[in-house]
Amino acid sequence: MDEFDLIHRITPRSLSHQEIEIGIGDDAAVYHTKNGYQEIVCVDTMVDGVHFLSSHSTPADIGYKALAVNISDIAAMGGFPKYYLVSIAVPFGWHASDMEAMYEEMSKLAKLYQMDLIGGDTVSTKGQMVITVTVIGEIKKGKACLRSHAQPGDVVFVTGELGSSAAGLSFLLEKTPIKNKAQAKYFINRHKRPTPRVEAGLICSRYHHVALNDISDGLASELNEIAEASRVSIDIYKDLIPVHSDLHTLHTRWEEWVLFGGEDFELVGSISGDQWEHFYQDCSVHRIPIYQIGRIHQSGDAQVFYHNGQDSVRLEKKGYNHFKQDR
């Protein structure tokens, strides 16, 4: 595989944004910014064997998820994604067709949001594949949805079912036996191809003082981050958390998937109680799933409590940690 030939093949033939002056082809990209807007920049690195399994995923699956998780970060700020850059360390044994499939799938996802590929890098490696994606987005000044925005009395919400990605991973790792192939396929797809909640994030940015996080490391971890940033206590309730109707049939420890599994890439956040009903209706009109799962309790100690109908358990800040390797 020739690097320059690959660059030629993946270079976009047209661009969605007129602000781009120089795209791929020079040492760096150049683009103009809009007045009245702020830029949002995020970056994620995925390593084979840690964040994905090339033995269980197609190049298209890997490309999709690498871009999707970064778009999700932009959504969690209430912003809109515009540009992306891709850097890949390619192991020996990968072919040009594999790389093209990866970039093609990223391109398909990017087109949904009119995103432009404006740069990156490609190197070879004797180790595992490493793919790093940077996404640049924008948001109106002062409208970013920050973790520090939660206040006592706020409603806590999520945008969709939780635990499904962890269930899919459990199937892939053969920790959960497959009894129903169609069922397993659904959960595996939820793990490999999460849906970034961009539209939900944009709606959140229209409201005052919304706190947001995307669920990458697990619900418990994300809520603790909001609690710490806002210095509040959070109560959530088992019966209110949306899960797939089959989830509890898959494993006795399904609640751990919901609370600590991660990689659902739904949004979790809080909004003031007096805005909740209007916000809920706004989401419903746009056919965006939204569920109230709890309340912000009080200012002071940063704590998260899980009420399961019988007692209350404090949720520790744990989930997927790349250095502690605990779930």
- 120 has binding-site annotation: yes
- 73 has binding-site annotation: yes
- Residue 21 confidence (pLDDT): 79
The two counts, helices (H) then strands (E), for the chain are 10, 13
- 5 has binding-site annotation: no
User: Is 147-314 in CATH node 3.90.650.10?
Assistant: yes
228: nearest Cα among 293, 163, 301, 172: 301
Sign of the torsion formed by the C-alpha atoms of 225, 49, 158 and 287:
positive
- Residue 270 confidence (pLDDT): 98
Kindly give, in sequence order, each residue whose CB lies less than 8 Å from that of residue 165, ignoring residues fewer than 6 positions away. Answer: 187, 190, 191, 194, 261, 262, 263, 264, 265
- 222 has binding-site annotation: no
H-assigned helices in 23-95: 59-75
At the topology level of CATH, where does 3-140 sit?
60s Ribosomal Protein L30; Chain: A; (3.30.1330)
What is the C-alpha to C-alpha distance for residues 74 and 276, in angstroms, rounded to an integer?
A: 22
- 280 has binding-site annotation: no
- 299 has binding-site annotation: no
pTM: 0.90
pLDDT tens track, the chain, 327 positions? 566 566 667 677 677 777 887 777 677 778 888 899 999 999 999 999 888 889 999 999 999 999 999 999 999 999 999 999 999 999 988 888 999 999 999 999 999 999 999 999 999 999 999 999 999 999 999 999 999 999 999 999 999 999 999 999 999 999 999 999 999 999 999 999 999 999 999 999 999 999 999 999 999 999 999 999 999 999 999 999 999 999 999 999 999 999 999 999 999 999 999 999 999 999 999 999 999 999 998 888 899 999 998 899 999 998 754 444 444
- 214 has binding-site annotation: yes
- Residue 1 confidence (pLDDT): 58
Q: For residue 6, how far is the Cα from the chain centroid? A: 28
- 98 has binding-site annotation: no
- 121 has binding-site annotation: yes
| Domain ranges within the chain, ordered by starting residue | 3-140, 147-314
